[in-house]
Amino acid sequence: QVQLVESGGGLVQAGGSLRLSCAASGRTFSLYRMGWFRQAPGKGREFVTAIQWSGGSTYYADSVEGRFTISRDTAKNTVYLQMNSLKPEDTAVYYCVASTTQLGSPVWWGTWGSWGQGTQVTVPS
């Protein structure tokens, strides 16, 4: 009952930057945390990062920590993913996710009850 719409994907050269946005609607009053997964061609879903909605605590996968930054605008019910120093291995469909509970590891896809439609990020090699 939380709907998510991602935007901001595109093609960026290695070393470049991109900012993704995700707007939440519906039962946004019940949000506990939001985050991002990605799925590269021929690969499974990979956890990227998550943020607690109320306190703003963040958690990053080792592969992106130091390069990616997750942030939120609670007034706009929007989460952002600032991606810097992009690499070809970052090429994937990026999915915004949301959870209304604190239960479960954010790394597991089943923890998240709401998923966006995905936005393509391509970094040529």
Residue 125: pLDDT band by 50, 70, 90 thresholds?
A: very high
**Is there a contact between 98 and 114 (Cβ–Cβ < 8 Å)?**
yes
What integer pLDDT is reported at residue 118 of this predicted model?
98
Per-residue pLDDT at 7 exceeds 90:
yes
pLDDT of residue 93: 98
Report the pLDDT value the prediction gives residue 20, as an integer from 0 to 100.
Answer: 98
Q: Which two tokens stand for residue 69?
A: 């930054």
pLDDT of residue 1: 79
Instruction: Quote the pLDDT of residue 97.
Output: 98
**Which tokens belong to 72?**
């939120």
Report the b/e string of 1-30 with b at 16+ CB within 10 A: ebebebebbeebeeeeebebbbbbeeebee
pLDDT for res 55: 94
Tens digits of per-residue pLDDT, 80-121?
999 999 999 999 999 999 999 999 999 999 999 999 999 999
* pLDDT band with cut points at 50, 70 and 90 for residue 16: very high
Q: What is the pLDDT of residues 24-78, one digit of tens each?
A: 999 999 999 999 999 999 999 999 999 999 999 999 999 999 999 999 999 999 9
Tokens of 7: 């935007």
